[in-house]
Each structure stands twice: as C-alpha cells, then as structure tokens.
Amino acid sequence: MDLGLSRGLAAGPARRRVAAFVALVAAVAVFHAWLTATLAERMAEVDAAAARMPARVEVAYVKTLEIEAPQPLAAVVAPPPRPRVASRRVAKRVEPAASAPAVEEKAPERVAAAAPEPEPAAPVAPAPVDPASVVADAAPPASASGAASAVEGFVWPKATRVSYLLTGNWRGELNGRAEVEWIKIDDRYQVNVDLSAGPEFAPLLARRMTSEGRIVEGGLSPDRYDEETKVMMRDSRRVSVVFAPDSVTLGNGQQRDRLPGVQDTASQFIQFTWMFGAHPEKLRVGNSFELPLALPRSMNTWTYDVAEEELLHTAVGPLNTFHLKPRRGTRRPGEWTVDMWFAPELRYLPVRVHIEQDTGTYVDLLIARKPEIAGP
C-alpha cells in the first residue's frame, strides 16, 4: 500500500476524535455560559429584592392628640389623707394636743386603755374629702418641670404620626417637610422617618429611614435599619444595618459586638419617648444618661444631657419642652448629631429635632400640626 494513502487512512480517526473533543469542549462552554447567565440573573433578582426598602405598614389615623398636662405623680402615688376626726371620742382626745407634734398610729390604743369607756354615742361622720381638691393641692405649676412629674408607666400606642416643618441648609437653603411614624403590631414595631426638601413633585433631597424590631422590657430592640437617600440628578443610595443577638453589621460591612440597649437612627426617637413616658423623673435639667447608637458607619455610646427647659412657639401652640443635647466630643468626618426637644404635654413626643453636621450643614424639624393617632 502506498505510504501516503496509509497515512491518510490513519489520520481520519484522529481527525474525528479531535472534532469530537472540540464539540465536547464547545458544549461544556455553552453549558457553563448558560449556567453563569442563569445564576447571574438569579443573583440580580436577589440583589434587587435586597435593595428594596421594607414595605411600609399602612395605618388609618382616626384622631389627633390634644395638648394635655400629664397626671401629676403625687396625685396618684400618694394616698388621700385619712380624716383626722373619726368620732367624738377621738376628737376630744386630740383637740388639746394641737400644739404637740403628731399622734402616732397606735396612740388611740393607749388612750383607750387609760381612760374609761364613755357611753356609746352616735358616730360623727368625717367631713367629705373632695379628690379634686387633693389633686389640685398636689399638682405642681403648669410648666415643663411640673408636667414631667407624670405617673410612672407607659402604654405603647397602636400608631402615632408626627408631622414637621423642615428648614435648614445643605448646599443652600432647604425647605420641606418631615414625618416620624410609630406603628405597633403585637410585640413588633416599625418606625418610619421621612425627610423631603424642595417641591413635593420633584424634591431636591429625600430620605426614608425605617427601623423594625421587637418591643421588649427595656423599650425597643431593633432587628434591622434601612435607609434610602435620593438626590436630584443622582442614583438612589441604600444602606442597611443588621442586628443579630450578639453582633451588629453596619452599613459599611463592618461587624461590631452588640451593645445592650443599642438603638438605630430611627428607633432612638421612640426609645426616648418610651424612656421619658415610663420614667419621667429622668427628664430633669442637669440629668445625663447614655444611649448606645448604631449608625451606618459607626457604633458608639452617646451621652445626652437634659440641657434646659424651653418654651417653644409652634403651629399647635406654645409647648413646654426639655432640650436633650448630645455631647459633641470628637466626631468622625461627616458624622451628624441630633438635638431633640420632648414635650410632656404631648406624651413626651419629640416636637423639635435639630440634625447637624456642622454650622453650615443642618436640618431643623419643628412640629407642624397636632400628632395623629390610630387609637388610645
């Protein structure tokens, strides 16, 4: 056989094997390309779902919260005084001792043992005691100090919404509106904070902050904080803070140990309302306390001072308030601080909020109308 022909016959199977191998490689490449595209599509769906803000709980607000002085602590905690004159016999013994201090509780027993029992006489009814007069005598003056002496105890409302007029400065003068909304469902909560500057139909700046978590013995226990910021002519920016039982994952991906009682940017407003509603004695000028706060890029314990009492003239009328002021100290670049004014006459809600980065960059919120509530 010719050598060239034999080589040609031998090369035929080799070419077929090469062709089969190339086809196999191509098929594998096509499969991997399809698998990669499918996974990328699914990951994109997951990312898109994660990028969405939590669904807002819809609430029907049925009435407004009226300004009212909280019930004075002394009127409830102190029992009404017992009548000093229970009968003619007791009155006869006590009357000569008017110049003496007080008669001890067991004094009537000693009197009964020392004196002969008089003839039974018709008892003299004690003078009626008007509870309203007791409350009026015990009630402090109508001021922020007096209002802060409310009864210890706090009932979580079903839902409350406070609307604010927004002013400030951020690359120019800002004007707009804001809301802080609290919603309770069983032992869960949602807090929404909305800020919008500029025309409502085309805001220059809009930010929504949402905190979700549980209601516990010590107030609020956040599970997650989400923040979305929209600036005209720019893409939206989203950031989340995730709270695990023993750790907190910040918006920049850093993980920190979870501090007891830690709050987030949105929940802090309601946490303070609970704190002062349950323990009004804390709301006294000169008092200080600490609050751990997890921000998108840092977690620190902030110290707040009850700086002063201040009468605010608002759209709902004059309000006696307490100014809660954070200690500035050393701040990270771009870090914001929040001053708050709480009104005991409006269930210790924040009626003014001042958010400041520096003297030229700030937002000020002042209550615009009576708070709306969904129930008692």
Q: How far is it, in rounded angstroms, from Cα 303 to Cα 51?
A: 33
Residue 357 pLDDT: 84
CB atoms within 10 A of CB 173: 9
Q: What is the pLDDT of residues 316-333, one digit of tens each?
A: 999 999 999 998 765 666
C-alpha torsion sign, points 45, 46, 48, 49: positive
Q: What is the pLDDT of residues 153-179, one digit of tens each?
A: 678 999 999 999 999 998 889 999 999
Q: What is the pLDDT of residues 218-258, one digit of tens each?
A: 999 999 999 999 988 888 899 999 999 999 999 999 999 99
Residue 71 pLDDT: 55
Q: What is the pTM of this model?
A: 0.67
The structural domains of the chain, with segments of one domain joined by +, span 63-72+149-373
What percentage of the chain has pLDDT greater than the value 90? 51
Asked whether the predicted pLDDT for residue 43 surpasses 80, the reply is: no
Residue 75 pLDDT: 38
Average pLDDT rounded to a whole number, residues 275-280: 94
Flag the least confident range among 47-56, 200-209, 281-290.
47-56
Residue 38 pLDDT: 53
Residue 18 pLDDT: 66
Residue 334 pLDDT: 65
Phi-psi region for residue 219, left (φ > 0), alpha (ψ -120 to 50) or beta?
left
CA dist 191 → 247, 301, 339 (Å) = 21, 21, 19
What's the pLDDT band for 36 if we cut at 50, 70, 90? low
Residue 267 pLDDT: 97
- The separation between the first and the last C-alpha atoms of the chain, rounded to the nearest angstrom, is 107
Q: How far is it, in rounded angstroms, from Cα 343 to Cα 341?
A: 7
Share the mean pLDDT of the chain.
Answer: 76
Average pLDDT rounded to a whole number, residues 67-94: 51
What percentage of the chain has pLDDT greater than the value 70? 62
Asked whether the predicted pLDDT for residue 294 surpasses 80, the reply is: yes
Average pLDDT rounded to a whole number, residues 286-295: 95
- Asked: is 63-72+149-373 a CATH 2.50.20 domain? The reply is yes
Q: What is the pLDDT of residues 181-232, one digit of tens each?
A: 999 999 999 999 999 998 877 888 899 999 999 999 999 999 999 999 998 8
